[in-house]
Amino acid sequence: MDFTQLRNIISRYCVGEEIWVDSRTVYIGHKEPPPGAEANIPQRYPDNRIVSSKYTFWNFIPKNLFEQFRRIANFYFLVIFLVQLIIDTPTSPVTSGLPLFFVITVTAIKQGYEDWLRHKADCSINECPVDVVQQGKVVRTQSHKLRVGDIVVVREDETFPCDLILLSSSRHDGTCYVTTASLDGESSHKTYYAVQDTMAFRTEQEVDSLHATIECEQPQPDLYKFVGRINIYKDKEEPVARPLGAENLLLRGATLKNTQHIYAVAVYTGMETKMALNYQSKSQKRSAVEKSMNAFLIVYLCILISKAVINTVLKYAWQWSPDRDEPWYNHRTENERQRHMVIRAFTDFLAFMVLFNYIIPVSMYVTVEMQKFLGSYFITWDEEMFDEELGEGAQVNTSDLNEELGQVEYVFTDKTGTLTENNMEFIECCVDGNVYIPHAICNGQILSAASSIDMIDSSPGGYRREHEDLFFRALCLCHTVQVKEEETVDGIKRGIHQGRPTSFYISSSPDEVALVEGMKRLGYTYLRLKDNYMEILNKDDEIERFELLHVLNFDSVRRRMSVIVKSSSGEYLLFCKGADSSIFPRVVSGKVEQVKARVEQNAIEGLRTLCVAYRRLSESEYQEACHHLNEAKLALQDREQRLAQAYDIIERDFVLLGATAVEDRLQEKAADTIESLHKAGMKVWVLTGDKMETAAATCYASKLFRRSTQILELTKKRTEEQSLHDVLFELNRTVLRQRSISGLSVDCLDFGLIIDGATLSAVLKANQERAGSGNYREIFLEICRNCSAVLCCRMAPLQKAQIVKLIKASKEHPITLAIGDGANDVSMILEAHVGIGIMGKEGRQAARNSDYAIPKFKHLKKMLLVHGHYYYIRIAELVQYFFYKNVCFIFPQFLYQFFCGFSQQPLYDTAYLTLYNISFTSLPILLYSLVEQHITMETLKRDPSLYRDIAKNSLLRWPVFLYWTCLGVFDAVIFFFGAYFLFDNTTFTSNGQLMTTNTQMMFGNWTFGTLVFTVLVFTVTLKLALDTHHWTWINHFVIWGSLLFYVIFSLLWGGIIWPFLNYQRMYYVFMQMLSSGPAWLSIILLITVSLLPDVIKKVLCRTMCPTATERAQSNRPCLTVEPSTIFMLSQSSSRMSF
């Protein structure tokens, strides 16, 4: 055996390295490793074809039908249709088949069109040209032909065709600039790095001569995580292994900027790229309205079965007597007489099911989907929710939750970037207790014109020059800020000052830009990073160069970052900055008490604070640190954990230098928005990673806490003084005692709770470990229920999601909303019933993963109080109205069976059965559900308490549902018996036909059914007209137009002999009915009597016990036509004022 191969096996399996199960090996340029290296095991990878479409030409029909019939309602109507085909039923299969076909066809066309658009987009992406290096030459090919291992050439402003590892670039330092706006929305330029062993390659021939393999993890969707290493083979030497991380990985969809060209190797292609993996669908959220709708559907299904059972039983009870066996005109055949009783009864049961099945509204689902889809454009077109600074308006990522915006009970919000602007202003710094306050710097823009440095020394003892210089150097070196000479944004060059180019700082963190700019105003200017050397200009106008050796990146767990640099004198320095809670425990010397006092004072004032420390490293200590870092970076398994352990070993024994204070101002109208949400009955929780004092100050400024609010603390500091058990029970007694004293007065119960992440973990952990000694979780929830506002500070991203999940799972099952702007808020946004992302400065991860995205926090007020209110009112009326009109439709058919010997004779003509839900009554309710405004927008914004009237799904509760159902039954009884008594007195005419004595109208089954149906259509349409508060010409056109359409259709249907019909039972029926004057009077009388109870009920309720909404309606001025409402339905627009 080759000893080199044996040594590789031993080093891989016996020197403490784990077996790599979830890894892949990429052969750069498809070259096999040299002899003696590990065996070349070919692996199959997908091509670079992107497939976002759902269907193909061949599987569209079967796959789409399968998905549609998975819905219970569609499957139910399919069964009914098949029953009509199989057995002899009283109605034609067309009556069920046509509506079902209409629903299935409309849905299929919509989904097919959307998929066709996806196919077109896929083709344009897959066929775009790509340059690949093959045998030392650049060959142009199509994107979908790329394979893992291909070396790709990408030029400036081109998009990366797949996930690539950067090998070299046209820049001498081996870096390239990339924008990831299409991935996470961040428009700033990010820097990516080539491995030092390949960064010198400049030509295709040099790149093609590279002999290397890449070992990396299998594809996973995290955009910001990558673990791998590159093994470079040089002659017969041992391969050189270099670590690869996220800073080396260029993601598909990102764009190359300010770099002429790069060479990179494909590692993930096609549907395995991180972009494609992130397009996987998220878990489906269901609204409370949808759940209520399904519950009502089950009730109506039970009513349907009950009707069929009752009629089946009564039919056989009726036919028990021999003389009533069958009517003379409908004798059964011998085969039917010999059929078993059970089979006959089951067949009759199915026939009655078919006859009454229209009580289940199949078209309701299509109407609800159309209402949600079209209604979502109101948010997108709302000009009041358009932000001029961003140039963007609100976005709707899912329209399934529109009505849920009107049901929110808990709002969970992030602080930084959500309540605040995330626009940092450097306020001051403190070095050994000495305070320095420069002129205000805000994200790279000097807010004052003064050029001198204004420093206030609040310490009578002065300061040491050495620590001052070290502190300023630390802030100039410990960051990831990029320096640009100028930047063009929308044709305007930034960074040009008085005609000369000046440095312009950009970073993914606004804090870092504010700190570096603050140091510039204090005399220390960060110049550039060149050839791995960081250059700064000190107060004496001398350039200092520090070699950047290692960067210990910031993460939300450590809450700090560090750099290891080497000064020009050869001294190794470790600079660290981070949260006070992560720095103070690692400090061994320095003026800790003075700095801590200043940090606490700044936190109370609402400023964001960071502590700065350093440590000098000896040569041996530096080598040991390099060993720990390199060992962790080369690991393919558990790299993050190993890096965390290495950081923990290196970042210790610090000397404290000082602290900084940066202000993040409240967003415009943030306080007004929170106050409005409180008045609307919502409880607002702030979940933040900031320290308690800073977050509390922001809560007071945003009016989450008032000065009269009694603050309850459940923090680590308090639980150290008392046990967690004692603190919880003491707080619980406090809120319960106050509630018992105040009785029903809500104003007295103004408590605010502050809890930190450590205590929350203890509460949840104790609940699991000590279940027998008290349920801490329930006690904690009881305290929270009695608090008007809650502040959760020092929260990790996962804890934010745990808080949301805890409230969701409480016994009240409240509707929750989470809003945030950063990647650390994604977990709680996905966990909440409704997730809203802010288009902030921390990227677009939150906006991409949310259900809705808005530019600013202030827009949440209109989204909930106006749009949410309207959406819920509209869809609640839509659902109740659909069930109501179908009860009115079918209950006369049920009553009719008592008068036709339970013979399953239909009351209505087939055309009426088919078109009732499709044509005659569909458009008015759809339009109502799109444009109804029962209260003006100004009133809803002015009086947030109106939101309480629709809280807790109040319009879809069981009492309201029963009222609508009973109203439908009452109206149906009026229709049926009103027409019945009208036909009560009949005589024979000379030609043997029946004629009513009192109306002189031809009497017959279809005349009776047509009269009932006419009253039915007019009553349900006028009922909707009475419920309409906001009238436009479109309302008038649709409501009166639908009634006119019914009349015209009936005249044509019965007035013309249609050649395609075998028999025409409705011929001249409608005209005969309308020719009778008393029939007209009867129709008007029956419509009036049917509508009267609902009108009386509304008048009495508004007079005796009006709701806040009804009082607002009675006080409002006359509504005018909203041009935006007309505009939405009359023409296409990219935006709309609604």
Single out the residue of 219, 203, 200, 197 nearest to residue 148, CA to CA: 219
Contact predicate 46/269, CB 8 Å: yes
What are 825's two structure tokens? Answer: 């808020």
What are 265's two structure tokens? Answer: 């190797």
Q: What angle do CA 584, 728, 581 make, to 5 degrees?
A: 10
Single out the residue of 291, 288, 382 nearest to residue 853, CA to CA: 382
What are 321's two structure tokens? Answer: 């007597």
Active-site residue among 184, 414, 825, 971? 414
Phi, psi of 41 (to 5 degrees): -100, 105
In DSSP terms, 610 is beta-bridged to 660
Q: Rounded to whole angstroms, what are the CA distances from 536 to 446, 991, 1037?
A: 20, 113, 73
Q: Tell me, what DSSP letter sits at residue 143?
A: G
Rounded CA-CA distance 267/345 in Å is 68
Rounded CA-CA distance 49/127 in Å is 9
Residue 413 has a CB neighbour count (10 Å cut-off) of: 28
C-alpha neighbours within 13 Å on the C-beta side of residue 604: 6
Question: Of all helices (H) and strands (E), which one includes residue 660?
Answer: strand 654-666
Rounded CA-CA distance 192/256 in Å is 10
* Identity of the amino acid at 566: K
Q: Which residues contact 631 (CB under 8 A, 6 or more apart)?
A: 642, 646
Rounded CA-CA distance 836/826 in Å is 10
What are 135's two structure tokens? Answer: 């045998």
Single out the residue of 363, 179, 274, 404 nearest to residue 867, CA to CA: 404
* Location of structure tokens 């008490």: 593
Alpha helix (H) ranges present in 238-376?
Answer: 274-278, 288-318, 334-338, 341-356, 363-375
What are 613's two structure tokens? Answer: 């420390």
Rounded CA-CA distance 759/717 in Å is 9
In DSSP terms, 192 is beta-bridged to 176
The dihedral through the CA atoms of 38, 39, 42, 43 has a sign that is negative
Q: Which residues contact 856 (CB under 8 A, 6 or more apart)?
A: 387, 667, 668, 838
Rounded CA-CA distance 974/1093 in Å is 12
The dihedral through the CA atoms of 482, 485, 491, 496 has a sign that is positive
Rounded CA-CA distance 576/574 in Å is 7
Rounded CA-CA distance 764/714 in Å is 13
Q: Name the burial class of residue 374, with classes exposed (0-12), middle (13-18) and buried (19+) by CB atoms within 10 angstroms of its CB.
A: middle
* 414 in catalytic set: yes
Q: Which residues contact 1073 (CB under 8 A, 6 or more apart)?
A: 1001, 1007, 1010, 1011, 1014, 1079
- Three-state DSSP class for residue 435: strand
Residue 1108 has a CB neighbour count (10 Å cut-off) of: 14
Strand 249-250 vs strand 163-169: parallel, antiparallel, or unpaired?
antiparallel
The dihedral through the CA atoms of 758, 760, 763, 765 has a sign that is negative
Contact predicate 647/558, CB 8 Å: yes
Question: Of all helices (H) and strands (E), which one includes residue 654?
Answer: strand 654-666
Residues with catalytic annotation? 414
